Structure 1
């Protein structure tokens, strides 16, 4: 009788442990199914979503980097060049499928950037030199990519710490979105017509 009870107890423990992983797998599967649904997304909806996400991501990234710079000012070089070392930024990149970078004057000649991006960056530099306000910008680079740029103020801690060697205090967030990832992440029920 004791052997039967031990066997039943062992089965309950094994089944209980397996149930937890099944629930986790089910959540992941539901998330994947939802992302794979066929959706009709207009160009306007795509641009609106990228613009809203860009604003939100730039604000969160700026706050996270400033917090890290205040906590660890000696690590400014590492933090400014490798934003993925900041857990919040790494999480945003994974969640939204976005590439987040901080650009400065040196990037005017960066061959990695598209010609259109370098022109926009040049306009931001011109605004910074003339101490005029420049706003956020969303551009379509090609059929698959969108880039969101958000300039930082010259008084920003990030400009002061990350762009020390520049003549003009200037920095711009560069958020590179894949249209495919935006569409994949959109909830079909929440799309505005």
Structure 2
């Protein structure tokens, strides 16, 4: 009888051990480890965050610009081009937004009057518009809008098909990528880089 109890007990312990070490549990443990690592205090400076926004903003704007350009060249008719200019039907853009936790928009010179944009952003757009009118070079720009948001802006060259197709009806065709980075996503990416 003692042997039977020992056998049942060892079988129960073995079964418990096997179910405790399932792949699902291991995945949860990895996720928990990542969450714990994200919560550890790290020294992250404003310069670290701006550098991260700059690197990611440049990478993202080039990728979506390339995709939009390709799709505009293949588009059939003005209705499809209009949808593309509103950044609809761009699956890679949606994937990038989800991957990096950002919001990507394409704004124009008309948005200088857009009251939903912050004063800083309208001033930056006005500078881009002035440079486009004067045929001056454009450089990317990063603004910290508030304590929780960074905005990366990059102007599309005025001779690019995107400016002509999407904003050709404006006095000065201007297209600017506006990429919104929540601060928590930036901090998370800086922390991953610093590991």
TM beyond 0.5: yes
Where do residues 6-155 of structure 1 align in structure 2 (5 Å cutoff)?
32-74=35-77, 75-81=80-86, 83=87, 85-155=89-159
Task: Say what the alpha-carbon RMSD is for the aligned residues.
Answer: 2.5
- Stretches of structure 1 that go unaligned for 5 or more consecutive residues are 1-14
Structure 1 residues 44 and 77, CA gap change in structure 2 (3 angstroms)? same
- Stretches of structure 2 that go unaligned for 5 or more consecutive residues are 1-17
Q: Matches of 1:85 and 1:32 in 2, distance apart?
A: 34
**Equivalent of residue 170 in structure 2, options 163, 166, 169:** 166
Q: Deviations over 1:71-98 (max 9, x none)?
A: 22431111111x2531111111111111
Q: TM-score scaled to structure 2, two decimals?
A: 0.79
Q: TM-score scaled to structure 1, two decimals?
A: 0.79
> 2:151 touches 2:180 (CA, 8 Å); kept in 1?
yes
SS in 1 for 2:106: strand
SS in 2 for 1:168: coil
> 2:44 touches 2:191 (CA, 8 Å); kept in 1?
no
Larger-Rg structure: 2
Paired residues, number: 175
Q: Matches of 2:194 and 2:130 in 1, distance apart?
A: 37
Offset, 1:121 = 0.4
